[in-house]
A = this chain, B = another copy of it.
Amino acid sequence: VEKSASRPRNRRGEGARLREEILAAATRILEETGSEEAVTLRSVARDVGIAAPSIYAHFPDREAIVNTVVDAAFERLREVVSTVRAERGADPVAALLRGCRAYMHFALDRPGQYRILFGRTALPDVATDAAVQRRIGVFYALVDSVADCVKAGRSDSTDPFTDATAIWSGMHGAVVLRIVTPRFPWPPLDESIDSMVYRLARIRTP
């Protein structure tokens, strides 16, 4: 990551703009490297075109930058999935499939970021409640979506929560393996999603 040629200093009262530039640079680095460790104060500063200590006016430390980027990415994921699920007709099976496709496309469009969303702070004693809550938000929309199918008589699920964990696992695994093993002859994405979700959500076949 090269240092930008020259960056004009923000005008008085507009110093907060730098905060946005820092977040954009950190997001870019995260996406390009797929590595949280690559987001260093110095690499971000180089990317923005500032001196490293200038970051301290906007973030208390390195970790705060990454946390802010990750929170924003989770919020975007939540919004994309819930928007897509709500749009158009009332067919609950179609809504479930739209939500699942949106989830997987979101992930595969920004693989570097997605891996960090669900890959960091791995070991048992490190995961915080807040991290769990962020991850679970989208999951509950999935449980609701399966439950909608049951209510409409389209699914034989007797336990939408458990079936939703299976769907979530299937989507996550498919996304991660595709990211990490791109040379593998993966079947076409959308067909795979639909076929997997139909079976795991116990959608009735006529």
Q: Which residues of A approach B to under 8 Å, CB–CB?
A: 33-34, 37, 111-112, 115, 118-124, 127, 129, 132, 135-136, 162, 165-166, 168-174, 176-177, 179-184, 186-187, 192, 195-196, 199-200, 202
Contacts and interface: CB of A to CB of B under 8 A. Distances in A.
Contacts of A162: 187, 192
Contacts of A132: 181, 183-184
A122 B110 CA distance: 13
Contact of A169 (B115, B123, B170): B170
A169 B173 contact: yes
Given A124-B182, A136-B184, A180-B122, A166 B112 contact: no
**In the assembly, how many copies of this chain are there?**
2
A127 B182 contact: yes
Contact of A111 (B115, B122, B183): B122
A195 B166 contact: yes
A147 to B, nearest CB: 16
Given A123-B112, A165-B192, A170-B169, A118 B176 contact: yes
B192 A200 contact: no
A200 B177 CA distance: 17
Contact of A173 (B33, B171, B179, B184): B171
Nearest to A179: B122
Given A135-B184, A166-B196, A170-B170, 9 more contacts: A33-B123, A111-B122, A127-B180, A127-B183, A162-B192, A165-B187, A166-B170, A166-B192, A169-B174
Contacts of A124: 182
List the 4 closest A-B pairs by CB distance, nearest first. A173-B173, A169-B173, A172-B173, A169-B174
A202 B33 CA distance: 39
Contact of A118 (B165, B166, B177): B177
